[in-house]
Amino acid sequence: MTTIAFVGAGSVVFTQGLLADLFDLDLGRLEIRLHDIDPERLATAAAAAAYLARHHHVTPRITTHLERRAALDGADFVINIVQVGMNAATRTDFEIPARYGLRQTIGDTLGVGGVFRALRTFPVLRALAKDIAEVCPDAWLLNYTNPMVMNVWYLKALGVRNVAGLCHSVYWTMHGLSELVGVPYDDVTYLAAGVNHQSWVLRFEHDNENLYDRLDEAIAADPELLRRVRVDMYRRLGFYPTETSEHSSEYVPWYLSHASEVERLRLPIGAYLDIVADNLATYEQTRNALKAGDPVEVEPTTEYAPQIIHSIVTGTPRTVYANLPNTGLISNLQSGAIVEVPCLVDATGIQPTAVGALPAQCAALNRSYLNVAELAVQAAIDEDPRAIRQAVMVDPATAAALPVERIWELCNDLVLAHRNYLDPSLRAALR
């Protein structure tokens, strides 16, 4: 029997999608263990899992656990989808920086929002790592929780043996590009590499044709495409970034601090707050439908976790993109940093592909991104509150918007607002 534990299963919509994909795969006997600290959300997740099992005509063993360790005991795979602080903490990450004039769109990966999301997640990850080491040391930990690079870097620093960060940005970017140039996705050959939410499409081909030429033609034919950050970055850097314009704008100093660029590129400030509200509404609709016995529509996710589990369990080889430590995988990025590369997955596990050197301009931006992540992780490892401020100081978008004294004041305000989630050693205000 294959045992899969969901940590943060109360993220019901995402849990449903992953379960639907898992139940569509031939995995033999399955045990699904759902863990969340919110009893109502956990009950909703269990009802959704039972509904999906019936719908897919499978009979997994499904158990629920308010206590994490019981859910992990002997598990083969652990899927982490926790969001520490939920909606209220996310709103804080936007509202306090906005008082300082700092614009954010998503705020979950880099910048002040990403740093503080990581800092309040790290204590939960540390406890999770301890439990895994004691009750399921050989399990694969498949992390979806953002900020991806900071979280996986921290987990590796804690000694978690088998951990990979998973994200759909490369997959959906290539789907979108394929549609834009008029070539079916399944007929496209591509290679991407970099860091999560800021990888680069290094190859984009069909039958030995460079599809970047077709992309250039599509952009020239549609001036509205020029009003996308990722298209603007592609035109200036020569390689297409693998995350949405909303995300991409936050990782560089050129856009959000300029009102004219916000207007030109149609950047939706605070967009993630709308996503949070939509997610809450969808959760409530799902909960109410399950209670009433009404049907629940669940779209396949094509996420990587179910595919990885299937490949490891059955030995079926496939290629996915994953976030793993840089052990020479990208030669001009920091050793040990978490990088995103294609990986072969089979019965032996996840095997990353060495990509070599990125184009210099792409590596330069990735290094700026990784500098922020490294300092945030170091703040937690060394219990050093100064490193929090230093991480935000070197963040490109924040440094473009605020003088250094205001950055420290902003960090003090966020430390105070999030203090109940932070390690005690990081709660001090600094001058």
- Beta carbons within 8 Å of 429's beta carbon, 6+ residues apart: 412, 415, 416
Distance CA 72, CA 67 (A): 9
Secondary structure letter of residue 354 according to DSSP: P
Q: Are 203 and 238 in contact (CB under 8 A)?
A: no
Are the CB atoms for 428 and 385 separated by under 8 Å? yes
Instruction: Please list the residues that pair with 324 across neighbouring strands.
Output: 339
Quick check: is 168 catalytic? Answer: yes
167 is in an annotated binding site: yes
Euclidean distance between CA atoms 144 and 305, whole angstroms: 9
Q: Which of 370, 391, 381 is nearest to 113 (CA)?
A: 391
Which of 56, 168, 175, 258 is labelled catalytic? 168
Tell me the Ramachandran region of residue 336: left when phi exceeds 0, alpha when psi lies from -120 to 50, beta otherwise: left
Flag whether 196 is marked binding: no
Structure-block tokens of residue 353:
């592909």
Q: What is the DSSP letter of 249?
A: G
Chain-centroid distance, C-alpha 338 = 12
Total residues found in the chain within this entry: 431
Q: Is 332 annotated as a binding residue?
A: no
Binding residues for substrate: 146
Report, as residue numbers or ranges, the catalytic residues: 168
Binding residues: 146, 167, 197
Binding residues for Mn(2+): 167, 197
